[in-house]
Amino acid sequence: MSPFTQRVLEIIQEIPEGQVMTYGQIAGLAGSPRGARQVVRILHSSSGKYGLPWHRVVNARGEIAIRQEESRMLQMLYLRDEGVEVADNGQLDLDRWRFIPHGE
């Protein structure tokens, strides 16, 4: 496992309940500011294996990026269960819900 992948996994595992981070934010913290697409791939391939809170990751516009309807609705449900206000179109307020770790 590459150091970048390891760091991405660690960052995602540290997102607190009721908060979100963006793909790009995670990539930057892991050392590759342009690596948002890599974060998507890591999340897709490793969520089950490492028990990642995949539902706490959104795009830079504060939107649920998943297009597959069932998974999209599941992400909205999980976030709402944690108290995050998500509009029916999958939009949320990053200013309110974004997790900013110490040192970012």
Q: What is the DSSP string of 58-91?
A: E-TTSB----SHHHHHHHHHHHHHTT----TTSB
Give the domain range for residue 63.
Answer: 3-97
**Does 102 reside within a domain?**
no
State the average pLDDT over residues 84-91.
96
Instruction: Tell whether pTM > 0.75.
Output: yes
Predicted confidence (pLDDT) per residue in 20-60, tens digit: 999 999 999 999 999 999 999 999 899 889 999 999 999 99
pLDDT band, very low/low/confident/very high, at 104 (cuts 50, 70, 90): low
Residues in the chain: 104
- Kindly state whether residue 77 falls inside one of the protein's structural domains: yes
- Total domains in the chain come to 1
Q: What mean pLDDT is predicted for residues 75-95?
A: 96
46, 52 in Cβ contact below 8 A?
Answer: yes
78 CB-contact burial (10 Å; exposed 0-12 / middle 13-18 / buried 19+): middle
> What CA–CA distance (Å, rounded) separates 74 from 80?
10
